[in-house]
Amino acid sequence: MSTTTARAPRGRQFFANPGPTNIPDSILHAVAHVSIDFNDPAFLTVYDGCVAGLKRVLRTEQEVFLYTGSGHAAWEAALVNLFSPGDALLVIETGHFSESWGKMAKDLGLEVGTVAADWRRGVDFAALRAALAADTGHAIKAVCAVHNETATGMELPLTEVRAALDATGHPALLLADTISSLGSLDFRMDEWGVDVAVGGSQKGLMLPTGMSFTGVSARAMAAHAASRLPKSYFSWTNMLARRHRSFIGTVPTSLFYGLRESLRLLEEEGLDNVFARHARLAEAVRRCVRHWSGNDGPQLFCLSPDRFSNSVTAVLMPEGHDAEAVRRIALQSFNVSLGGGLGRLGGKVFRIGHLGDLNEPMILGTLASVEIALRLAGVPHSPGGVDAAIAWLAEAARAA
């Protein structure tokens, strides 16, 4: 028998990717639903309940449009429904996902300006205010903000973005990508004055990939009425003419049975408790990584503690060590799936996703397996990071 073959996986895979995320058994069972006519009254009841529940999670009382497609579909829907060729957008740089959304906007014929930022420290809001103040003619139609940059493990405080718009009296729409924050981090569309909130199914909502949505404010609906970019499948006007007020074509009914269960789980736990659980588990991961960073070991990529993401942590490898080697060992030897570095961070970071259906033993098992993988890969680190996570989780449990 070869000694180089991967160990046969036994037990459950620990899926520590920041999206897709673990799907709870009850959601898996709910998704396994027979086909049903999407105009069947029984389904319409489920559908309407899901839309109402999604609005509660988005904390909006305005419009929601849904799409059969991953988060990218909702990104595109937001852009083509709001703007006209040549319109100017201002993208706040956060990392790979802000770059990708900006590139999509360029592909669609929009002018994209960027508020540049250091990926490890995050944007300086004075620079955002200055860019808005300099735009005295109000050419900028929208500010695009990625609430949680999944590539770097950093949160962008949306209230600060709103404050910059208000302080400069700038009328630009505020578009927020909440794909890896919704259902994991506090988000309040209406209270925070977000005009379009973009979300997807396979992250905090713990569903299979394939459905995405946008919350849309009344101001954004007014901008939609004037927009001239070509659109048909994603057109909100076309969607409003349908019973479902979303989806051109067949409605992905199975995902709605899953969404109904997802919303039930989130509301049974209580959104505030869901956010607190994410904060607790994220802090365990960070304490572990901080411990590893001794002996010139891997360190937290994010250098701004007030912006640490509670849904994903990016871990920066020491110079000369390949993050992919750690990921490979974790997967092949321990059946732990970690996220890789995206774009220019490829090979430099690995990412531990800690959002969705997750508890203490899952986090501890993942961290322990990563620590073994660091040993096996010959990566310098201070051993015992898992003990730091244990100490924190005990402290948090005692205080609860």
Ligand X SMILES: *Cc1c(COP(=O)(O)O)cnc(C)c1O
Binding site for ligand X (CB under 6 A): 19, 70-72, 97, 146, 148, 150, 177, 179-180, 200
CB 146, CB 156: distance < 8 Å: yes
Distance in Å, CB of 389 to ligand X, minimum: 24
Our CB check for ligand X shows the closer of 146 and 325 to be 146
Closest among 14, 2, 23 to 210, alpha carbons compared: 23
Distance in Å, CB of 255 to ligand X, minimum: 13
Q: Indicate the Cα dihedral angle 86, 90, 96, 100, nearest 10°.
A: -20
Write the CA distances from 279 to 53, 143, 286, 293, 355, integer angstroms: 23, 27, 10, 21, 10
Cα–chain-centroid distance for residue 246? 22
Our CB check for ligand X shows the closer of 210 and 318 to be 210
Distance in Å, CB of 215 to ligand X, minimum: 15
Cα–chain-centroid distance for residue 199? 8
Q: Any binding-site annotation on 351?
A: yes
Our CB check for ligand X shows the closer of 214 and 293 to be 214
Our CB check for ligand X shows the closer of 174 and 388 to be 174
Q: Report strand pairing: 14-16 vs 336-340.
A: parallel
Distance in Å, CB of 169 to ligand X, minimum: 29
Our CB check for ligand X shows the closer of 60 and 178 to be 178
Distance in Å, CB of 101 to ligand X, minimum: 7
In DSSP notation, 258-316 reads: HHHHHHHHHHHH-HHHHHHHHHHHHHHHHHHHHHHTGGG--EES---GGGB-SSEEEEE
CB 31, CB 255: distance < 8 Å: yes
Distance in Å, CB of 19 to ligand X, minimum: 5
Three-class DSSP labels, 85-110: CCCEEEEECCCHHHHHHHHHHHHCCC
Our CB check for ligand X shows the closer of 96 and 224 to be 96
For the chain, give the number of residues.
Answer: 400
Residue list, annotated binding site for substrate:
351
Residue list, annotated binding site:
351
